[in-house]
Amino acid sequence: MSLVLIMLMAVAQQATTPTPTTPTRATTRPTSPMSTSAAPTDAVTNSPVATIANAQVRATIYLPDATAGFYRGTRFDWSGVVSSLTWNGHEYFGQWFASYDPTTHDAITGPVEEFLTGDAALGYAEAAPGGTFVRIGVGVLRKPAEPAFQRFATYAIVDPGAWTTRQGTDWIEFVHALDDGAGYAYTYTKTLRLIGASLVLEHALTNRGRKPIATRVYNHNFFTLDRRPTGPDVVVRFPFAPRAARPLQNLAEIHGRELIYRRELQAGETVFTELAGFGPAAADYGFELEQRATGAGVRVTGDRPLSSLIFWSASRTVCPEPYIDASVEPGRTTSWRITYAFYEATPAVR
């Protein structure tokens, strides 16, 4: 997504991560680095899952597992993959794609994140063919002989690192420790915490290596509000007046601070554009997404300034993708937070 563009295709963050208290389950580094054999499993995919809940929100999360995990691709961070989140009778995340393979780059659900160094991965440019590079939240990967980084490819995993998971009633924490043996090493912590009618994602990235970690990160979101199709009942509202790089043709349009759809997207159709218009303050990291036919609403805010903003949607998902800089020098820690506040939207007048 290095170029401002829009396509119609056929076929297809600065808060310190708190340490949770009174955990109910903890795993140390197992013989298999990502073993979650003691966890319950999803009835359809037999993948390990965990559930957290409070009086208002209930969420089911797929757990990282190198052999049985729901997601085993090499694009997105393996932690915090939300398969379902319900509030007040509304569903916010779920499967949006037609076919499933655990190694497909985007066969994933919920608010998931991808780390990028430039338009590639950490260490990719300096690695020779046959050498290795790093995908944060995934592992050490093998670089094949190829002309350029293939963002949507699935690379061979040389070392998945070590995952540690702790869980309480209304929170779950994932810790990924990785050392590639060539100067890149980190501890990455992500905590999903339910607070009232909100889901809070807390992140901390500690550089334990001798090389600087230059990276940006974004959340793809993959909203599926009440399993309804993407169309005129959907509105996306920003805290600034967004500008698309090119006209949105006959699929969507921008009015002031809102992006709306002119018609329902069909299978294989997508809207894809970079958005401008945001300022340098963290207050512009945010948006509201509403499904006006059912009343499902969510307000997303972050505590870091945007570095860029992509908007992508398909027939069954709507995805504002806010990017931030998460670079960190050796011996230092960087942290960021994203909050999802769920609310009842005003139904559309018909």
The residue extents of the domains of the chain are: 25-344
Tokens 């994933």 belong to residue: 108
Q: Does 19 score more than 70 pLDDT? A: no
Residue 97 token pair: 């794609």
102 vs 151: CA distance, rounded Å? 16
Q: How confident is the model at residue 18 (pLDDT cuts 50, 70, 90)?
A: very low
Average pLDDT over residues 85-96: 98
Give pLDDT, residue 349. 61
87 vs 48: CA distance, rounded Å? 23
- Given a contact cutoff of 8 angstroms between Cβ atoms, the answer to whether 189 and 333 are in contact is no
Query: Which of 21-35, 147-161, 180-194, 229-243 shows the lowest mean pLDDT across its residues?
Result: 21-35
CATH of 25-344, one of 3.40.50.10540, 1.10.600.10, 3.40.50.620, 2.70.98.10: 2.70.98.10
For the chain, how many helices (H) and strands (E)? 0, 24
Q: How confident is the model at residue 36 (pLDDT cuts 50, 70, 90)?
A: low
Give pLDDT, residue 346. 87
Residues constituting the chain: 350
Q: Does 327 score more than 90 pLDDT? A: yes
112 phi, psi to nearest 5 deg: -110, 160
Tokens 């319900």 belong to residue: 86
Average pLDDT over residues 215-232: 98
262 vs 248: CA distance, rounded Å? 10
Q: Spell out the residues 6+ positions from residue 255 whose beta carbon is closer than 8 angstroms to its own.
A: none
Pairing of strands 258-261, 252-255: antiparallel
Q: Does 6 score more than 90 pLDDT? A: no
Residue 81 token pair: 């993959």
Q: How confident is the model at residue 249 (pLDDT cuts 50, 70, 90)?
A: confident
How buried is 129 (Cβ within 10 angstroms: 0-12 exposed, 13-18 middle, 19+ buried)? Answer: exposed
Q: Which residues pair with 21 in a beta bridge?
A: none
Q: Tens digits of per-residue pLDDT, 45-84?
A: 889 999 999 999 999 999 999 999 999 999 999 999 999 9
Q: Tens digits of per-residue pLDDT, 133-146?
A: 999 999 999 999 99
Q: Which of 232, 228, 178, 233 is closest to 206 using CA atoms?
A: 178
